[in-house]
Structure 1
């Protein structure tokens, strides 16, 4: 849950599959299916086979930062340094065109309400949506001021069926939080050793397409934050966005975020040897279906 100590600061051929008559696709699940998957329609923001997301709407879109410094839960220490993260992230997101809202020390109910209200807005003129959470966490849980909640509460209301004005658009989530208390001691490397031929103006997408979810660390592991400079992950993310957002696609950019965190940082706690010289690497889950480059706005 904690994320404290400091760093030294110094990534067919074209033949169709032949099926027997009457054969079709099957799922690997047993039992009844969710009947909510009714066909729905939303405006197409980009051509079916476009390689890039359309980032030429009137506005870049909303960026919401949930910043948690203090907690009502006695076992959770205040997150010294989180305001540095929040300020840096807010500035860099504004510089690439986002309309930034910072919400500080909200309770879980208020987070849920704000997210639901945001999903009910009209995002038709927006390129995308970005939500960042800076908080304590543990395996499968994030902490609000008063209690914990599941991370998927953050993106639940933004699936294409629930928020059609963001259907087909990138929905980006960045989470700076521990995902457990395991430590990564690292290792030293040594040089020793299909198309169907139809032409249609519409197409269907899965409701969970176009999401990008990035955690500051891998499941089960500690996430480090410097009390003066901010968290390792946010330092690296802000640097890459500041210098490369207009040129690199987001997954390439995030690869270099991972590289920065993995190589440039190491915990510096000589008075606590079990915590000393530990490493970290962010964890990326992408359901993006196109390349995303923010470009100039």
Structure 2
């Protein structure tokens, strides 16, 4: 009996250690079983399917389920996949799902992502979605995206998947004609994800001019913040403004802009960049305000402005083509509150162990879009796009509340803390660390008496490493 109890506790301890490895080491432990699914819509060319299978193998997935089904049936198949994983009652190390359809047919991918995100077997584990278009006018016709991903996985097995994708985005956009292809990733990962089975901390060569953005020229920052009716917002402005100045950004701060003033300030900022005497290396724009039910920003006059429209307008600035553009959004994106996902029906031996904490229900997801919507850019030089070299960070998941108290917002305060401690590290890595810390926090909103969770959404079409302190 003592032997059985000791063995049970040892297994339980190993499970707890696996679940907690992210918090202790800053990376995911994917040594457990890997689950993979391909959903292929009729009309997808066979060459794309073959290339995709090669990518699955390069990423370390030895087997996978493949189903050919119309796009309308994707949700049902994902529900079946989720039920199958939950029925096994064993933790999964990682899940990879590829959704392939003719261009323009995959219209609501977030509903598909949410379906698998609720899988109990995948709680706290990374879930990777590869969303691909195939057919006339698609970047997959040449197979450049999949071929490049397979090649990089073989050459750099110790790189994290986000590092691989950043390098892949550079290759794909430079090889495309007319700037028509612009891949993008959306991440709520809490740590480094390395699927090659190799530690992602191996020392690497110093980055060269093709792997890291050159920030030796002018850097400019614009901070637009509604202070009125937002306790603690002034602390965010002071903290972020101080950080930008410390990093060498020429910083402009405007408080309490109306909805129209948001647009006017961005237009003025763009005009200043266009007339700048020297080259511009990087821009950072922070938008801080109350958010509307559909993710709109509310100006000091309570009128709405669409943040995506503001960002898109600045991204078209020709002076910034090929240079990184960072957007930080501290605002609610809806009214939903996330209670998090935690263990249920824990067996008796968890009383001797530290049960794994709950995590935000939207955390641990990486979405890879081979082609971003609206990625074409007429008049752009070859290999350039107005949608490339953009990093956007949302303080909350789509449809959810962002939290702030009289000391400032969780997002901005954590961001400043992390960047001040490691200003020379890759910004995507630092943002992942910011998200990890935010996911660990239990927050209590002013209009809710129950603890809630929050996580970032990071969108990136960066094509090089971005270090804000060269």
Partner of 1:73: none
> Aligned to 1:262, which of 439, 445, 448?
439
Tell me the CA shift for residue 49 of structure 1: 8.0
Relative to the length of structure 2, the TM-score reads 0.47
Structure with larger Rg: 2
Give the Å deviation of 1:95.
0.7
CA contact under 8 A between 2:222 and 2:285: conserved in structure 1?
A: yes
| Alignment partner, residue 210 of structure 1 | 389
Aligned to 2:346: none
Q: Does structure 1 residue 291 correspond to structure 2 residue 465?
A: yes
Aligned: 1:149 with 2:305 = yes
Aligned counterparts of 2:322 and 2:449: Cα–Cα separation in 1: 43
CA distance in 2, matches of 1:210, 1:89: 22
**Deviation, structure 1 residue 275:** 3.8
TM-superposition CA deviations, 1:100-133 (whole Å, max 9, x none): 1110111121221221122233354322010001
Q: Is 1:245 the equivalent of 2:423?
A: yes
SS in 2 for 1:155: helix
Given that 1:178 and 1:221 are in contact with CA atoms closer than 8 Å, whether structure 2 keeps it comes out as yes
SS of residue paired to 1:292: coil
Partners in 1 of 2:279 and 2:137 — Cα distance?
38
Q: 1:222 aligns with which of 398, 401, 405?
A: 401
Q: CA deviation at 1:187?
A: 2.6
CA distance in 1, matches of 2:410, 2:442: 9
Query: What is the root-mean-square deviation of aligned Cα atoms in Å?
Result: 2.6
Q: In the alignment, which residue of structure 2 is the partner of 1:236?
A: 414
Q: Distance in 1 between matches of 2:317 and 2:262?
A: 17
Structure with the larger helix share: 2
For residues 80 and 176 of structure 1, what CA distance do their matches in structure 2 show?
A: 13
* 1:111-150 superposed matches below 5 A: 111-120=262-271, 121-122=273-274, 124-138=278-292, 139-146=294-301, 147-150=303-306
Residue 185 (str. 1) matches residue 336 (str. 2) = no
| Alpha carbons of structure 1 residues 25 and 245: separation in structure 2 relative to 1, 3 Å | farther
Distance 1:275 1:210, change over 3 A: farther
Aligned pairs (5 A) from 1:59-138? 59=218, 61-70=219-228, 78-120=229-271, 121-122=273-274, 124-138=278-292
| Residue 186 of structure 1, CA deviation | 1.4
Work out the CA distance in 2 between the residues paired with 1:250 and 1:154: 22
The equivalent residue for 1:174 is 328
What runs of 5+ residues in structure 1 fail to find an aligned partner?
1-10, 14-23, 29-38, 41-47, 71-77, 192-201
Taking the aligned partners of 1:116 and 1:261, their CA distance within structure 2 comes to: 33
Find the counterpart in structure 2 of residue 50 from structure 1.
Answer: 210
**127-136 or 48-57, larger mean C-alpha shift:** 48-57
SS class of match (1:154): helix
Residues in 1 aligned to 2:469 and 2:253: alpha-carbon distance in whole angstroms: 23
User: Deviations for 1:214-256, whole angstroms, at most 9, x for unmatched residues?
Assistant: 11000011111021x210011111111111121x111101000
Q: Secondary structure at the match of 2:221?
A: strand
- TM-score, normalised to structure 1's length? 0.72
Higher relative contact order (CA 8 A, sep 6+): 1
The offset of 1:27, in angstroms, is: 4.3
**4+ long deviations beyond 4 Å:** none
What's the counterpart of residue 103 of structure 2? none
